Amino acid sequence: MKRTLIVMVALLAMVAFVSGVMAQAPAQTEKPAAPAPEKAKEYKPKTMKVSGPVAGYEAGKMIKVKGPKGKVMTFDLMDDTKVKGEVKKGVKVIVTYRKDGDKMVATAVAVAPPPKKKAAPMEEKKI
C-alpha cells in the first residue's frame, strides 16, 4: 500500500513538472522579415453551375433554365456575360452563375454539346 502511494506521488510530481515545462513559451528565434502586406484580396462570390434545357431566353437580358427536379431558374445576363453557341428554347445549356443578393447573375452560358451516339456495331464480313 505504501509502495503504491509513493509511486502515485512520484508520478503526480513528475506530471506537474513536465506540464510546467510544456506550458513555457518556446525560445524566441529570429524570424526573417515579414513580406510587405499585399493589397486586401477582393471578395469574389462563389460561382456555381447548373445545366438543363432553356425554358426562356431574352438576349442580353435573362435566361430561364429548367434545372434539377424540374425547377425553373431565372438568371440575369450582364454585358460581360459570355454566351457560347446558339441559345434558343429547348436547347440544353450549362450556366455558370453567382448570387448577387437575391438575384442569380449568369457569368457564362454555353450550349451543351449533343450526347454522343454509340456507333453501330460493325458486322463481320465473310470472305
Give me the CATH number covering residue 93: 2.40.50.320
Residue 117 lies in a domain: no
Q: What is the pLDDT of residue 42?
A: 66
Q: What is the mean pLDDT of the chain?
A: 82
DSSP type of residue 68: G
Whole-prediction pTM: 0.55
Band of residue 118 on the pLDDT scale cut at 50, 70, 90: low
**Are 37 and 50 contacting, i.e. CB atoms less than 8 angstroms apart?**
no
Q: Give the number of domains in the chain.
A: 1
Q: What is the pLDDT of residue 43?
A: 63
CA 6-7-12 angle, to 5 degrees, is 100
| Sequence-separated (6 or more) residues with CB below 8 Å from residue 5 | none
Beta bridge partners of 54: 65
**Strands 92-100 and 72-84, bridge-based pairing:** unpaired
Residue 95 lies in a domain: yes
| Residue span of the structural domain in which 107 resides | 47-111
